[in-house]
Amino acid sequence: MQSEAALSKETEESVTSPSRPEVTGRALGAAGASQGSLKKPRLGAFLKARRSAFRLTQQSLAQQLGVRASHIALLENNRRRPSLGLLARFAATFNVDGRELLQLAYPEIQALVSPIPKRTKLSRSWQRLFKNTALLARYRVTKQELEVLEHLGVLGGKLTAKRFLAILLLVRDTP
């Protein structure tokens, strides 16, 4: 079994060489891997590898980012997750895509940002509502609201045109 230091060194070398600190999307995924597991990318391993590639200490990186060195250590050991603002500063400092850092830090966000699968055929209720231009004009339904209602229609269930409009009016009414 390899020691943790040897695994960390392998991760650093697989991410980038010190002479070339920029990273691509594929390297980012590999860099986030924790102890050889590509299924669970880890932000800590990536941050440590990038910091080493830029030849920064935890203290110097912390000063650049406006946090304490102990916070950097907690992040690198996957004991804390960074705020969105700190993720943006990491992305700027390491010249990487912030969206990929976000997915490394918060893997559960993938379900929220993945596109909604389109149905090939919408329900009859949705089709009736969409074709009824007089009703849409009467309730002043915007294009964006129609898109939201379409996403709601994709979720399924028995929604009539009246229920679609009731939902729309309830959403409009909430502050």
Residue 74 has pLDDT above 90, yes or no: yes
Residues 169 and 94 in one domain: no
- Where does the pLDDT of residue 39 fall: very low under 50, low under 70, confident under 90, or very high at 90 and above? very low
Q: Give the residue-averaged pLDDT of 69-84.
A: 93
Residues 159 and 129 in one domain: yes
Instruction: Spell out the SS3 assignment of 60-129.
Output: HHHHHHCCCHHHHHHHHCCCCCCCHHHHHHHHHHHCCCHHHHHHHHCHHHHHHHCCCCCCCCCCHHHHHH
Residue 42: give its domain's CATH number.
1.10.260.40
pTM exceeds 0.85: no
Rg (CA), the chain: 24
**Within-domain flag for 163:** yes
**Within-domain flag for 149:** yes
Domain count, the chain: 2
**Within-domain flag for 109:** yes
Q: pLDDT by residue (tens digit) across 92-122?
A: 999 998 888 988 998 888 766 666 555 556 6
Residues 21 and 75 in one domain: yes
Domain containing residue 136: 124-173
Q: Are 47 and 76 in contact (CB under 8 A)?
A: yes
Q: pLDDT by residue (tens digit) across 130-145?
A: 788 888 888 888 888 8
Residues 28 and 81 in one domain: yes
- Where does the pLDDT of residue 35 fall: very low under 50, low under 70, confident under 90, or very high at 90 and above? very low
Q: Render the burial of 122-141: b for 16+ CB within 10 Å, e for the rest.
A: ebebbeebbeeeeebeeeeb
Position 107 scores a pLDDT of 86
Residues 159 and 103 in one domain: no
**Within-domain flag for 37:** yes
Task: Tell me which of 148 and 82 has the higher pLDDT.
Answer: 82
Q: Are 46 and 118 in contact (CB under 8 A)?
A: no
Q: How far is it, in rounded angstroms, from Cα 21 to Cα 15? A: 9
Residues 90 and 26 in one domain: yes
Residues 136 and 97 in one domain: no
Position 150 scores a pLDDT of 74
